Structure 1
Amino acid sequence: MYKAIINEDTYISIFEPRHAEALYHLIDGSRDSIGEWLSFPAKTNNIKDTRLFIEKSLKRLSENNGYWAGIWYNEILVGSIGYLYIDWTARKTEIGYWLGDDYAGKGLVTCACQKLINHAFMDLELRKIEINVASKNTKSKAIPERLGFKKEGIIRNFEYLNSEYLDRTVYGLLKEEWTINRNP
């Protein structure tokens, strides 16, 4: 299945059913940190849940409406990245991502985002990419900022998570902005 090489140590690959156990253990081992900003760890209680998630992701892929892939570092699943949807009429998508606790700070998500950005603009011929992050999640916000995304606004009280309302910062990148400011 689809595999994109980032460097000699890192690649991204579409999730397949055989990845369900590794995905579950990665989520379970980083449940608190991922769950601080995202709701899915609370809904991921066993390997059956990750199998179902992978099946849904593969269905979206078959419908040409986005997908999730694993981020692999030294042949170990360390995180996930994907297109949450693809709006073919507006020619846009949104990228989502997360990493396990032990793999932050290595530039893995930034490099994986670059791959997905290039693919979206060059191969899928999309016009816009969004990245939406919890406004208080400074580490996650640094990624779109580093990649040249523009802050487009804040959605107040976007979701209720961990007994608090979280705002969501919306970042956008247009194809012509990436072409001008292309990252390697």
Structure 2
Amino acid sequence: MYKAIIDKDTYISILEPKHAEELYHLVDGSRVNIGEWLSFPMKKNKVEDAKLFIEKSLKRLSQNNGYWAGIWHKGNIAGSIGYLFIDWSARKTEIGYWLGDDFIGKGLATLACKQLIDHAFNDLRLKKVEINVATKNSKSKAIPVRLGFKQEGIIRNDEYLNGEYHDRVIYGLLNEEWEKAYSKI
């Protein structure tokens, strides 16, 4: 999947080095909000950092072990989504995502997640997709719930970020659950 059309205004595409400057500016303009829940914004302070991130993602793609894609909306990069890894022996993956400040609340993360879930189950033939979210991040937690994921557990003190420990809730979705929910549509 190198480019997937979501709707007339929105698509997902694999991040390439040519996107580094645009990606950096999106992160830089949304650093505080993204950094509330993720550690990378405070560590990525120049365009070269975005380029290195993209190059690492492309290497993972070439190794068939996940990747990050950009989410574009009305011609602008809105955020990023990806498979953090692909465990081929267990046939599962984990999806991660984030949006820039100007794109929150438009349903883009939910639509992008749905696209990656479809790809994971229908094209990659995986059996399970997970999404892990900080327990206090209510907006992000709403996405897996909306998409039919089941809460499987909480990892306590999973990450130390911004001077405090954050618990992380694990959501899982099985292929047969997805098929049952979306075969009716």
Q: Provide TM-score, normalisation by structure 2.
A: 0.98
Task: Give me the identity figure in percent.
Answer: 72
Cα distance in 2 for partners of 1:170, 1:65 equals: 20
Cα distance in 1 for partners of 2:93, 2:123 equals: 13
In structure 2, the residue matched to 1:54 is: 54
In structure 1, the residue matched to 2:80 is: 80
In structure 1, the residue matched to 2:136 is: 136
**Structure 1: gaps (5+ residues):** none
Structural mapping, 1:160-179, within 5 Å: 160-179=160-179
Cα distance in 1 for partners of 2:69, 2:170 equals: 22
Task: Tell me which amino acid in the other structure corresponds to 1:101.
Answer: D
How far does residue 17 in structure 1 lie from its aligned partner after superposition?
A: 0.2
Runs of 4+, deviation exceeding 6 Å: none
Task: Tell me which amino acid in the other structure corresponds to 1:117.
Answer: I
1:153 paired with 2:147, answer: no
Cα distance in 1 for partners of 2:149, 2:82 equals: 17
Task: Tell me which amino acid in the other structure corresponds to 2:51.
Answer: R
Cα distance in 1 for partners of 2:113, 2:41 equals: 22
How far does residue 182 in structure 1 lie from its aligned partner after superposition?
A: 1.2
1:16 paired with 2:44, answer: no
In structure 1, the residue matched to 2:94 is: 94
1:112 paired with 2:112, answer: yes
Cα distance in 2 for partners of 1:35, 1:106 equals: 20
Task: Tell me which amino acid in the other structure corresponds to 1:85.
Answer: F
Q: Secondary structure at the match of 1:49?
A: helix
Task: Tell me which amino acid in the other structure corresponds to 2:180.
Answer: I
Cα distance in 1 for partners of 2:64, 2:26 equals: 27
Q: Give the number of equivalent residue pairs.
A: 184
How far does residue 93 in structure 1 lie from its aligned partner after superposition?
A: 0.1
Q: Secondary structure at the match of 1:181?
A: helix
Cα distance in 2 for partners of 1:3, 1:62 equals: 16
